[in-house]
Amino acid sequence: LPAAPATEAPRGMRAGTVTPTACLQSTHPPWDPTKDLRAIASNFCYLENSGWYWGAVTAAQAHAALQEASEGAFLVRDSSHPLYMLTLSVRTARGPTSIRIQYSSARFLLDSSSPARPSLSSFPNVPSLVQHYMGPKSKAEEGELAKEAPSKSSQESVQSASVVMKLKRAVYKPHSLPSLQHLTRLVIHRHSECPEQLPLPKPLLRYLQDYPFKV
């Protein structure tokens, strides 16, 4: 019988080699956008209920609102930097300043210049982050100043690239003060470790769960 005609190897491959039947699969799991969408949506829902989310205000406006406040007063606003969603503005001992809030893999953390930056805690939402830094056991962090056109008074008072941050009191947005129901909810969370176990009607328990924070 005549020999079968030899087949030419594909260009770039030596004769006799076997063509792989499938590409090697990546060890990294595919990115799931729904996880980020849920995290961002729930975070902004919490912020809208907080009363201390000021939305699209500038750094100068935020610093002016904090200028006469006591040390530790703070608010959260939209960041003017295109790579960040949110910024924490706080009144420090050296005047008002702003620290950007990073978002990565459905977690939020402060943009810090501290040597301990790799060990900084991250949180599923910004109210949890704020609550952590208001806690009695939390340590003051060295936070990198957000370069978002600070006010003149802030430029004069801040001479270095880091500042000790202490969160003590939220500054509510004007004309958007929290309702009496929300303030009562905060009091319950501050004085109860397990509010879901309180002998309350189910609608009230759901209302407590809609904003499970102390600030």
Sequence letter at residue 135: G
Task: Give yes or no for a contact between 67 and 153, defined as CB atoms under 8 angstroms apart.
Answer: yes
Q: Do 183 and 205 have their domain in common?
A: yes
| Model pLDDT, residue 117 | 65
| Model pLDDT, residue 144 | 41
Residue 138, pLDDT above cutoff 70: no
How far does CA 78 lie from the centroid of its chain? 11
Higher per-residue pLDDT: 116 or 150: 116
Domain limits for position 209 = 178-214
Q: Do 168 and 184 have their domain in common?
A: no
Question: Is residue 75 assigned to a domain?
Answer: yes
- Calculate helix-pair angle for 126-134, 33-50, nearest 10 degrees: 60
Q: Do 168 and 193 have their domain in common?
A: no
Q: Do 90 and 102 have their domain in common?
A: yes
| Model pLDDT, residue 88 | 97
pLDDT tens digits along 93-105: 999 999 999 999 9
The pairs formed by 62-67 with CB atoms below 8 angstroms and a separation of 24 or more are: 62/87, 62/89, 62/96, 62/98, 63/89, 63/95, 63/96, 63/97, 63/98, 63/150, 63/151, 63/153, 63/154, 64/151, 65/171, 66/90, 66/91, 66/96, 66/171, 67/91, 67/95, 67/96, 67/151, 67/153
Q: Do 39 and 97 have their domain in common?
A: yes
Measure the CA–CA gap between 117 and 134, rounded to whole angstroms.
18
CATH number at residue 198: 1.10.750
| Model pLDDT, residue 166 | 82
How far does CA 181 lie from the centroid of its chain? 26
Measure the CA–CA gap between 91 and 107, rounded to whole angstroms.
25
Q: Do 170 and 203 have their domain in common?
A: no
pTM: 0.74
